[in-house]
Amino acid sequence: MTDREGRLDSVLPGRFRKVADDRYGGLPPTMVVPRTVEEAQAIVREARASGETVAWFGAGSRRGLGRPATAAIGLSFIALKGVVDYRPHDLVVTVRAGTTVAELAAVLAPEGQRLAVDVPNPERTTIGGAVAADAFGWRRHRHGGFRDHLLGLRMISASGDLLRFGGTVMKNVAGYDMPKLAVGALGTIGGAVEFSFRLRPLPRARASVVAFFPPARWPEIEAALAAALRAPIEPEALWLLSPAAAGDAARRWGLVVPFAGEPAAIAVEKERLCRLLPRGAGVEVSTVGEAEERALFDRLSAALAGSPPWPAFYRPLEGSEAAARAEEPGAQAGDAGAQAPDSAPDRAPIVLRFGLRSTDVPGALRQAEALGRAEGFSPQVFGCFGSGVAWAVLGGASADAAPSEVEAARRVIAALREAFPYPRGIVRIEHGPASLRQAVDPWGIDERTASLLRRLHRALDPEGRFLAARLA
């Protein structure tokens, strides 16, 4: 037993020793799975007393985001699950950080409600991890991201205190707007253990307009998209997909426009949109129902899959009574770690995320696909005309992150940042190996913005307990 393990033995309900690592890095030597908020506070206080750093984890699928940094202790919230308070008539829910997005959706659906942030891979993504990584999905154009739905949170500070920010109503914040600051902060300003969200009704129906068109029709399709934004319709998004992302055998680009609401209104809006789209000369326009729409977005979610869950790389700490009596999450970690960690799946490709002006999305997608192919990748690119968000999945990434692959990705990123410089555009590494994130600034922001982030972190965590270096 190491000195750290001996010191923490009295406060840790379940501890796991790292026995392997993967190419994404960030796995601390000791992982902790507290079952209560009080246990998590005790861990942070003990870490502070011993001068050690702490990193927050959910399932661990976002470890390929941000600058590489490894803490002495990892603290996972996967045992802090469940809904704390749900008031359907007020459209408000408070949920613990370790609850997955799919688990929360299952609680809300019987009341005809939802958290309108459709995160990719909801079965394995925890609420805490999704907020920390600023994850969002296919309907951000209409519904926004977590910042638009988060009302309040409870957070463990660097001193181990439990702080409450916001509440369950709007316009209740004075000083730092901590709920919004927590979105995308990767836990560097504190460990959020509970979140309160504003909810939305589930739509009565869903349907999408799907179109395929050859690259030669780009001017027409861009004009049609601009007209669609001005038209009297309310689509949930306007997604452009490369041929690989669209899965079109004829190598045509795809357009997917989802609608949700009343069936009669959807029918009218689909008709209006179809009149705006170009026809003929290789263009194919159709409508699909909810099942086909879900299958399409599930396929794109699979392309964005992140790093393997952390339990695959740990085993329970030998001789620990606390680990022996750990509840289900800890037991699962032990079972997974007992398998050969090196056999854990590690084939996730490099993923880039763009923040762009709407008019730049089509050109950025075409350029990203061409650059990826020129560097030997098999890219899938897709983006939303309207919200300005896009992804480039550089497929073909190898498990060992060969230097040639990292250098090829570096050239793609450099070319895209030159074409869409900050602040006109942001090109960030959404997920990639540690070697790439060491060679390239993963965020793509300027020094002035980075210095503001560092000042904020010094104010909230002056001792650097929570790895502020991951952000700036």
What distance in Å separates the CA atoms of residue 462 and residue 252, rounded to the nearest whole number?
53
Alpha carbon separation from 25 to 130, 225, 251, 434 (Å, rounded): 19, 41, 37, 6
Comparing 159-173, 246-260, 282-296, 407-421, the range with the smallest average pLDDT is 159-173
Q: Which residue has the higher pLDDT, 402 or 245?
A: 245
Q: Lowest mean pLDDT: which of 184-198, 269-283, 314-328? A: 314-328
pLDDT in tens, 34-57: 999 999 999 999 999 989 999 999
Q: Where are the alpha helices (DSSP H) in 27-109?
A: 37-49, 101-108
pTM of the model: 0.90
Which tens digits make up the pLDDT trace of 299-324?
A: 999 888 888 999 999 998 754 444 44
pLDDT at 331: 45
Q: What is the pLDDT of residues 112-151, one digit of tens each?
A: 999 999 899 999 999 999 999 999 989 999 999 999 999 9
The Cα–Cα gap between 201 and 115 comes to 9
State the pLDDT at residue 189: 94
| Per-residue pLDDT at 168 | 72
pLDDT for residue 345 is more than 60: no
CB 60, CB 76: distance < 8 Å: yes
State yes or no: pLDDT of 401 exceeds 80.
Answer: no
| C-alpha closest to that of 323 among 305, 341, 311 | 311
What pLDDT score does 42 carry? 93
pLDDT given for residue 176 in this prediction: 64
Between the alpha carbon of residue 126 and those of residues 37, 58, 260, 309, 311, the distances in Å are 16, 6, 25, 12, 15
Instruction: Return the top range by mean pLDDT from 289-293, 324-328, 440-444.
Output: 440-444
Tell me the mean pLDDT in the region 310-339. 56
pLDDT at 327: 45
Mean pLDDT, rounded, of the chain: 87
In percent, how much of the chain has pLDDT > 90? 69
Q: Provide the pLDDT for residue 2.
A: 60
Provide, rounded to the nearest whole percent, the portion of the chain with pLDDT above 70.
87
What pLDDT is stored for residue 250 in this prediction?
Answer: 83
Note the pLDDT of residue 323. Answer: 44
Q: Which single residue is written with the structure tokens 């190898």?
A: 398
Res 337 pLDDT > 70: no
Over range 221-247, report the average pLDDT: 90
Across the range 336-355, mean pLDDT stands at 62
Average pLDDT over residues 343-362: 80
pLDDT at 92 over 60: yes
Q: Can you give the pLDDT at residue 258? A: 95
Residue 396's pLDDT is 56
The pLDDT tens digits of the residues spanning 23-36 come to 898 999 999 999 99
Residue with tokens 């939305």: 200
Task: State yes or no: pLDDT of 328 exceeds 70.
Answer: no
- Tell me what the mean pLDDT of segment 242-259 comes to: 91
* CA R_g for the chain: 23
Q: What does the pLDDT read at residue 229?
A: 87
Specify the 3-state DSSP secondary structure of 107: helix
pLDDT of 174 = 55
Instruction: Determine the pLDDT at residue 403.
Output: 67
Region 415-443: mean pLDDT is: 94
Give the orientation angle of helix 218-230 with respect to helix 361-374, to 10 degrees: 140
pLDDT digits (tens, 9 = 90+) for 66-77: 999 999 999 999
